[in-house]
Structure 1
Amino acid sequence: MVGKIKTVIVGAGGMLGTDLRAAFPDALAITHKDMDITDREAVMRAIRKAAPDAVINAAAYTNVDGCEDEQEKAYAINGLGPAYLAEACKEVGATLVHYSTDYVFDGSRPEYRESDATNPISVYGKSKLAGEKNVQYNMDDYRIVRTSWLFGRHGKNFVDTILSLSKQMPTVKVVNDQVGKPTYTVDLAEKTKELITLPAGIYHISNEGVCSWFEFASAFIDNAVPCTTAEFPRKAKRPRYSVLVNTKTSPLRHWKDALRDYLS
């Protein structure tokens, strides 16, 4: 079915977007250079012209600390952009797949299901939640995909950063009191083919396996040392636990298997 539907990928130049292009080779790829997601008229014009059956939105402002400094930009890209896409999709009768984040939760519970109450503690999380709500307000035929700890070949990510630091320093301090699920963008992009065919709603999609950032780092470098969040202060607060439980669809493979593929 997916091979025959006309698909548009928004944010096609990013880490996830590039892998989505591989998963949907016939899709129309729209990058930031082609369309400003914060410009309502530009969004409406582009989606009307394409007249797709499905729109996949991978455009986002994902610099968690940067969002604290640039709140207006964060809400424009993560909050208003999805609203405009939802409005355009409803008009042309297209399904919208929109990616959100584990950071819509406050981290006070060990794990989160799709139906659990949200309570973001950072501007990034709040702006992404605004996007979720705007999509739901503007249309019914949506798939909101909450995912976590993304790593992939086509963008800046934790694995590359830590690998680089590992070569430059005798030891690399990595926080051991933030727990979640790493997710490989290749696996998420492939899973999106199935998600388009599933009922409308919110989905939690991440690779299987729970770990701390320190445990994640220790899987691919041998000079990581644990530290606390208090020892490594950042501008934006991070949830202590952000484990997403997928209750609606078949699980992805374990993150260690995905990491092996990524590193090879």
Structure 2
Amino acid sequence: MKKVLVLGAAGMAGHMICEYLKTFTEKYKIYKICHNIKLDSESILLDIFDLDLLDTTIRMINPDVIINSIGILNKNAEDNPSKTIFINSYFPRYLEKKFKNTNVKLIHLSTDCVFSGDTGNYSETSETDGKDIYARTKILGEINNNKDLTVRTSIIGPELKNNGTGLFHWFMKQTNSIKGYSKVIWSGVTTLQLAKSLHDMIESNLTGLYNLAANKPISKYELLKIINVVFEKNIIIEDCKENYNNKSLISIRSDFPVNLPTYTEMIMELRDCMLKNKQLYEQYFCK
């Protein structure tokens, strides 16, 4: 049985990773480190800036795999540059060095925002040309070696906090008509699909840098239309053709072939998962 430690276990990605991996009771023992709120009674609350305490905690757990789902996102990155540099850049490099000569596998989550979005179809070997502080700090934090793994992707999914900032959370809180951007192209996955893919990556011992992306990109407009139908929101979505951006990813690696579900299938699977765990997601289903 592998011990898997998830850092950022109450976040949008982290909590779903924990909830999915814990279903493999004969494969994984899940340990959770959270910053502000606990995912459950077994979670450990810890200030990630306290590296001495973190080191002590990790030594006590003695994990086989560490999944780093901690990150400071766009707006917060601009407002808190010093914290952003520490969390997005220094911290994953610190973990990489800390466990370099051990059997601990580090899986670090990166983002499609390392690219500008000028062209799209970015592969693992494409130049990372993102310009803002979020992009630059995430670029610096990407680890690429023959033991650990960086997964580049973009995600949508439910959040545990009421003031979430992700696209899915925002959309589910809407009641009036909204704009959907048909010139903004996306190739990401749901948080549930990310968790499923991480399971496969752990099992196959994938290393290096990997772009996790849907088989076919979609516009944000079309994506919102699918969520609208699957979750029966009945929101009027206006097709807005402004703000062209294409951060779509592709993978050119042949050692980990994937055939992901369609976006409709991914969103339906996410809905079913949320309904099965309704106690976590009451904010999205209450009338």
- Equivalent-residue separation in structure 2 for 1:217 and 1:24 (angstroms): 27
- Equivalent-residue separation in structure 2 for 1:79 and 1:57 (angstroms): 12
How much identity, in percent, do the aligned residues show?
23
Aligned residue number for residue 76 of structure 1: 86
Alignment of 1:50-199 (within 5 A): 50-62=61-73, 64-132=74-142, 135-136=143-144, 140-152=146-158, 154=160, 156=164, 157-165=166-174, 167=175, 169=176, 171-196=177-202, 197-199=204-206
Aligned residue number for residue 246 of structure 2: 241
Shift of residue 192 of structure 1?
0.7
The answer to whether the 8 A contact 1:109-1:241 is kept is yes
Shift of residue 27 of structure 1?
1.4
Note if 1:260 corresponds to 2:268: yes
Aligned residue number for residue 207 of structure 2: 200
TM-score normalised by the chain length of structure 2: 0.77
Note if 1:10 corresponds to 2:7: yes
- Equivalent-residue separation in structure 1 for 2:158 and 2:169 (angstroms): 9
TM-score normalised by the chain length of structure 1: 0.84
Shift of residue 61 of structure 1?
1.3
Name the SS of the counterpart of 1:98 in structure 2: strand
In the alignment, which of 28, 49, 70 is matched to residue 31 of structure 2? Answer: 28
Structure 1 alignment gaps of length 5 or more: 231-238
Shift of residue 179 of structure 1?
0.6
Name the SS of the counterpart of 2:238 in structure 1: strand
Shift of residue 251 of structure 1?
2.7
- Equivalent-residue separation in structure 2 for 1:54 and 1:87 (angstroms): 15
Compared CA separation, residues 198 and 227, structure 1 to 2 (3 A) = same
Letter of the 1:146 counterpart: R
The answer to whether the 8 A contact 1:176-1:214 is kept is yes
Name the SS of the counterpart of 1:219 in structure 2: helix
Compared CA separation, residues 84 and 37, structure 1 to 2 (3 A) = farther
Question: Pairwise CA RMSD of aligned residues?
Answer: 2.2
- Equivalent-residue separation in structure 2 for 1:175 and 1:110 (angstroms): 16
Render the CA deviation track for 1:135-162: whole Å, top value 9, x for unaligned.
Answer: 34xx641110001142235463312312
Between 1 and 2, higher relative CO (CA 8 Å, sep ≥ 6) is seen in 1
Structure 2 alignment gaps of length 5 or more: 23-28, 37-44, 229-234, 273-287
- Please say which of residues 41-50 and 14-23 is displaced more in the overlay: 41-50
Shift of residue 229 of structure 1?
4.5
Name the SS of the counterpart of 1:258 in structure 2: helix
Aligned residues: 245
- Please say which of residues 49-58 and 84-93 is displaced more in the overlay: 84-93
